[in-house]
Amino acid sequence: MMEHVAHGLMILGGFFAFSGSLGILRMPDFYSRLHPAGTADTLGQMLVFAGLALKVITVSLAEEAPVDGLSIGKLIAISLLLFVTTPASTHAIARAAQLGGLKPWTGEKEREDTDE
Amino acid sequence: MRTLLLFLVLMGFWLLLSGQFDKAFLVGSGIVSCLLTVYCCHRLNLIGESYQPIESLPRFLFYLPWLVWQIVLASLDVTRRSWGASSAIQPRLVKVPVKIRHPLAKTLLANSITLTPGTVTVDVAEDHYLVHALTEDAEKGVLDGSAERRVAPMVPGSDKEDPDLQTEASS
């Protein structure tokens, strides 16, 4: 039962990560593309890591071994790292674009002169 | 106090990553590395309120659930827009006035804005942020300052100028 929940979480996380990638492809200009890159991936990675942690617990229980707290700790550490760095890198890219003089597309202009 | 805490956190991280508690060489080299790092931090003046914000930690733990919920909302929002028609967005740049001055609080707020639905922080200036919003609703949400009200009480004295500000800006 718990194993299915773990798989479900991982698949759901994968779905969000995929949606984020799809969003990057479909959004009209550079700044809009940052939105799916920054947020959908954060939820996606949290779900995937939650699923992996649950999987670690179920595997330990199935082998009747003590729960592998170290691996879970590492998973949480990676998740926290991504949680902090994703918005920071999104901001860095956005700021670089802004300093480079890229104007955001507002729906009025033609697409090609903003989409670089 | 902060020095000791930094050492303990570094040591805990080392042990977490190595996972070896009984090999004297590995634990010993961990202690040496952490001591060296703490010494370097001390020499570089990297020990202080903005670098080890222990005072803000308890409030941050209360803030975290709200932030995670915002991320869930943001991801659902972005997922819907990714699959739906691209005409559903009207992107714009918004200037958001910000009252808080503390570097840590500003960083937290900028990151929170990026993680909340439909907004990405583009530029952080002295008294305002430049925020890219996907829709008009997102623009209103970021302009009403609800995120700032949640961030401000977390950092003590966040409305005042920070003494480390010069070092932060130059780094």
Report the complex ipTM. 0.71
Considering only the beta carbons, identify the residue of B13, B19, B120 that sits closest to A31: B120
Residues A16-75 have pLDDT tens digits of 888 888 888 887 778 778 878 777 888 888 899 999 999 888 888 888 777 777 888 888
- Name the residue among B138, B127, B131 with its Cα closest to residue B98: B127
Show residues of chain A in contact with B134, CB under 8 Å. 32, 35
Task: State whether B89 and A32 contact (CB < 8 Å).
Answer: yes
Task: State whether B121 and A91 contact (CB < 8 Å).
Answer: yes
Judge whether A113 lies within some domain. no
| DSSP letter string, A41-110 | HHHHHHHHHHHHHHHHHHHHHHTTPPP-HHHHHHHHHHHHHHHHHHHHHHHHHHHHHHHTTPPPP-SSS-
Domain span holding position A47: 2-99
Considering only the beta carbons, identify the residue of A27, A70, A91 that sits closest to B114: A91
Token digits of residue B24: 């004297």
Distance CA B147, CA B144 (A): 8
Q: Which residues of A64-84 are buried (b: 16+ CB within 10 A; e: fewer)?
A: eeeebebbbbbbeeebeebbe
B128 SS3 class: strand
Total tally of structural domains belonging to chain A: 1
Residues B30 and B61 in one domain: no
Task: State whether A34 and B83 contact (CB < 8 Å).
Answer: no
Judge whether B94 lies within some domain. yes
Record the pTM.
0.74
Domain span holding position B75: 56-170
For residue B68, give Cα distances in angstroms to A14, A37, A85, B117.
18, 16, 15, 11
Show residues of chain B in contact with A107, CB under 8 Å. 89-91
Residues B31 and B89 in one domain: no
Residues B22-75 have pLDDT tens digits of 888 888 888 999 999 989 988 888 777 666 777 777 777 888 888 888 888 888
Residue B171 has pLDDT above 70, yes or no: no
Show residues of chain A in contact with B132, CB under 8 Å. 31-32, 34-35, 94, 104
Show residues of chain A in contact with B130, CB under 8 Å. 98
